[in-house]
Structure 1
Amino acid sequence: MKKTIAAVDLFCGAGGLTRGLEKAGIDVRVGVDIDPACAYPYEANNGARFELKSVDRVSARELQDAMNGAPYRLLAGCAPCQPFSTYSQGKTDASDDRWHLLRQFARLVRETKPHLVTMENVPRLAQQDIFDEFVAELRRLKFHVSYRAVHCADYGVPQQRQRLVLLASRLGPIEMIPPTHMPARHVTVRQAIGDLPPIEAGETHDRDPLHQACTLSPTNLKRIKASRPGGSWRDWDEDLVADCHKKGSGKTYPSVYGRMSWDEPAPTMTTQFYGFGNGRFGHPEQDRAISLREGAILQSFPRGYKFARRGEPIYRKTVGRLIGNAVPVKLGEAIGKSVLRHVVEYG
């Protein structure tokens, strides 16, 4: 019998985790984020209310009121991962204010006393002292804690994305459900976006404003035409290779200016996936970077997920950030199913 679990999603972003939890059957009541750009997509696509607020200003009473009446309460969140990401290239350190958001998450766990906690972040977080501090606090509060790096493609996300998933429960030992997709069944780029209508660089599809692609300079147009799926700029003629890549330091970035491969999952979506030069974000066969809609689908958002009101302009940098920072919906669903299975077993 399905048990009732009410949840609050901290650092909710555009709603990827919330959407996944809802698909699994969890009653997400509120999403909290400091970014006003998250408000419309979060509420337009999900059943939860959006609260524009910094987590350090959220009170335990607010969260307890939101989850009131449910037999089981879940506090979920994904603190901003930039300080711990390999993409930061060592540019952040312990002085970065975002490191301390994890302590605010711990404070809210301590003060609200939920039955269940989940957190998703980059795998490097597990190497940081602040993560050890967070886990120790959960255990001090009598939570059973498990965490591991998860390959998102193993749960139906068409993307080679590694994420750290933590699950904690005061009911008993808790673990992620086993992978739902073995490597032979990983969802590929072709399966995810292969049937979207073709567009050219700089074009927006007339029936989906999110299916739009950046323009390309004449040089980058020559570069993408010289690129093959799964290849790199090393395949180009010498006159197309950027000066920075000819240097020793530039040779460590073979995937920039690359095309995706049709029959493999996509690379990790970043907040700049819509730019051809920002990673292996070239379309497998069309001479352009992937569109905003294609990036959202590769993050396993439903095809009709709304990121901007009808008729309003779409700011590519903003929407790209929302999509790239999101918890993949399919991963959120797997987390939700793990929590439900656990409550059925121990509740």
Structure 2
Amino acid sequence: MSEEPPFISAVDLFCGVGGLTHGLVRSGINVTAGVDLDPHCRYPFEANNAAPFLERDVKDLKPAELEPYLSAGKYSMLAGCAPCQPFSTYSQSGRSKKRGMDWRLVLNFGSLVADLQPDLVTMENVVQLADHEVFSEFLDSLKGYEVSWAKVECTRIGIPQSRKRLVLLASKLGGHGLDLASQFVQSPRTVRQEIGKLPAIAAGEQHPRDPLHTSSSLSETNMKRIKASKPGGTWRDWDSDLVAECHRKMTGSTYPSVYGRMEWDAPAPTITTQCFGYGNGRFGHPTQDRAISLREAAMLQTFPRNYKFLKKGEQVTFSRLGRLIGNAVPVRLGEVIGQCLIEHVHAFERGEVEVAGAGVSEQLGRLF
């Protein structure tokens, strides 16, 4: 992009360890603060992003608390990803359309937008959110904005994993350019391209120069299973004595991807909070006899290889770090969102946008 990025000040709600923030910053957006309830997010957020971490519950935030962070730039922006567990297909509660208490976080986000009236808004979430009434209520909080939303297959925008996300863009500056299709890539990135150059480690081993490049240990049985597994194959390839009892039943036969290896020259599966466990999905390394390491999981989420998750000397806790990495917004998605919004603001400054507030544009057909 030849033009200098416009001065956009953004606050990242539900910021986690900073995936969305880091991507927005890479695109040229000035993130002035991140907000999250989880204290474990503070170090990775602040160590990698030049912005303060506000340890707050978004539902308790007052608009006046955010105003100083939004007023620093020529344009203001609220961004965020409300926790998605109530809607996720990985959660039983996501299969119900009844409103749950956790869903209110989406509406809390909408209330802050309605009160603060930032120039720009972006929200990222699971695609199932679009089927729930709470999403319609969130759209109601965007009166006066041009709104565009889409279900995005992340491989289309350069993320090396099969991950579908709902992405919403809204602007008071008009509707021109609110379209992620401009950021599509010609071919998906692969597991090999993302993690193929990392040094080899064994199951249960930690690399001496990178504590996050650590793989969980395997039992004797699981070591036999992974040695019998082919990249892209399933447990159905194994000898019968290795097949878990639960998978011999009809109810278990529909889960062929557990205990699977990734393929080098294809995208990874969706990185989840349990991605460090070989038995939790297709999380086996393509060639090494182990599950992927936490560093590999982070890189498949498009975090830079040197992104800091641990303080010096801090011990690795797989469950905590797996949760932080799996719940993160992929950095590349944040970058694409930022690039799209920067191009949109440039178009506004050139006088190329129509009057805002005309309605909602749904781009499902082109982006899914």
**TM-score band, normalised by the shorter chain?**
over 0.9
Please tell me whether the aligned partners of residues 177 and 337 of structure 1 are also in contact (alpha carbons under 8 angstroms).
no
- 1:175 is the counterpart of 2:212: no
- 1:26 is the counterpart of 2:68: no
What secondary structure, in the 3-state scheme, does the structure 2 residue paired with 1:234 have?
Answer: helix
What secondary structure, in the 3-state scheme, does the structure 2 residue paired with 1:38 have?
Answer: helix
| Cα deviation 1:103-132 (Å, max 9, x = unaligned) | 100110011110110000111111111001
> Aligned partners of 2:13 and 2:204: how far apart in 1?
36
Q: Which among 113, 123, 130 is matched to residue 109 of structure 1?
A: 113
Alignment of 1:131-150 (within 5 A): 131-138=135-142, 141-150=143-152
What secondary structure, in the 3-state scheme, does the structure 1 residue paired with 2:326 have?
Answer: helix
What secondary structure, in the 3-state scheme, does the structure 2 residue paired with 1:84 have?
Answer: coil
Please tell me whether the aligned partners of residues 40 and 308 of structure 1 are also in contact (alpha carbons under 8 angstroms).
yes
Q: Which among 209, 212, 217 is matched to residue 210 of structure 1?
A: 212
Alignment of 1:45-56 (within 5 A): 45-56=48-59
What secondary structure, in the 3-state scheme, does the structure 2 residue paired with 1:149 have?
Answer: strand
> Aligned partners of 1:198 and 1:120: how far apart in 2?
34
TM-score relative to the length of structure 2 = 0.91
Aligned-partner residue type, residue 110 of structure 1: A
- 1:191 is the counterpart of 2:193: yes
> Aligned partners of 1:127 and 1:181: how far apart in 2?
28
Please tell me whether the aligned partners of residues 12 and 78 of structure 1 are also in contact (alpha carbons under 8 angstroms).
yes
> Aligned partners of 1:172 and 1:327: how far apart in 2?
26
Q: Which among 75, 82, 85 is matched to residue 85 of structure 2?
A: 82
What secondary structure, in the 3-state scheme, does the structure 2 residue paired with 1:19 have?
Answer: helix
Please tell me whether the aligned partners of residues 72 and 115 of structure 1 are also in contact (alpha carbons under 8 angstroms).
yes
Please tell me whether the aligned partners of residues 144 and 168 of structure 1 are also in contact (alpha carbons under 8 angstroms).
yes
Aligned-partner residue type, residue 271 of structure 2: M
| Cα deviation 1:263-308 (Å, max 9, x = unaligned) | 0011100001000000000000100000000000000000000001
Q: Which runs of 5+ in 1 are unaligned?
A: none
Aligned-partner residue type, residue 23 of structure 1: R
> Aligned partners of 2:291 and 2:185: how far apart in 1?
27
| Cα deviation 1:135-177 (Å, max 9, x = unaligned) | 1221xx2111111111112222111111110000111112225
After alignment, is 64-73 or 216-225 more displaced? 64-73
| Cα deviation 1:217-244 (Å, max 9, x = unaligned) | 1111111011000011111111111111
Structure 1 counterpart of 2:310:
308
Structure 2 counterpart of 1:241:
243
> Aligned partners of 1:218 and 1:285: how far apart in 2?
18
CA displacement at 1:89 relative to structure 2? 3.3
What secondary structure, in the 3-state scheme, does the structure 1 residue paired with 2:22 have?
Answer: helix
> Aligned partners of 1:334 and 1:98: how far apart in 2?
28
Structure 2 counterpart of 1:118:
122
Structure 1 counterpart of 2:353:
none
Aligned-partner residue type, residue 135 of structure 1: L
- 1:155 is the counterpart of 2:148: no
Once the two structures are aligned, what percentage of the paired residues are identical?
57
After alignment, is 106-115 or 150-159 more displaced? 150-159
> Aligned partners of 1:306 and 1:150: how far apart in 2?
28
What secondary structure, in the 3-state scheme, does the structure 1 residue paired with 2:283 have?
Answer: coil
Q: Which runs of 5+ in 2 are unaligned?
A: 350-368
Please tell me whether the aligned partners of residues 13 and 79 of structure 2 are also in contact (alpha carbons under 8 angstroms).
yes
> Aligned partners of 1:275 and 1:214: how far apart in 2?
7
> Aligned partners of 1:91 and 1:74: how far apart in 2?
29
CA displacement at 1:95 relative to structure 2? 5.0
Change (3 A) 1:177 1:3: farther
Structure 1 counterpart of 2:67:
64
> Aligned partners of 1:21 and 1:177: how far apart in 2?
17
Please tell me whether the aligned partners of residues 177 and 334 of structure 1 are also in contact (alpha carbons under 8 angstroms).
no
> Aligned partners of 2:60 and 2:46: how far apart in 1?
21
Aligned-partner residue type, residue 279 of structure 2: G
Please tell me whether the aligned partners of residues 158 and 189 of structure 1 are also in contact (alpha carbons under 8 angstroms).
yes
CA displacement at 1:90 relative to structure 2? 4.0
Aligned-partner residue type, residue 185 of structure 2: H
> Aligned partners of 1:180 and 1:213: how far apart in 2?
33
CA displacement at 1:195 relative to structure 2? 1.1
Change (3 A) 1:113 1:91: closer
RMSD (Å), alpha carbons:
1.2
TM-score relative to the length of structure 1 = 0.97
Structure 2 counterpart of 1:269:
271
> Aligned partners of 2:90 and 2:182: how far apart in 1?
29
What secondary structure, in the 3-state scheme, does the structure 2 residue paired with 1:323 have?
Answer: helix
What secondary structure, in the 3-state scheme, does the structure 1 residue paired with 2:167 have?
Answer: strand
> Aligned partners of 1:318 and 1:337: how far apart in 2?
31
Aligned-partner residue type, residue 57 of structure 1: D
> Aligned partners of 1:130 and 1:50: how far apart in 2?
28
Aligned-partner residue type, residue 26 of structure 1: I
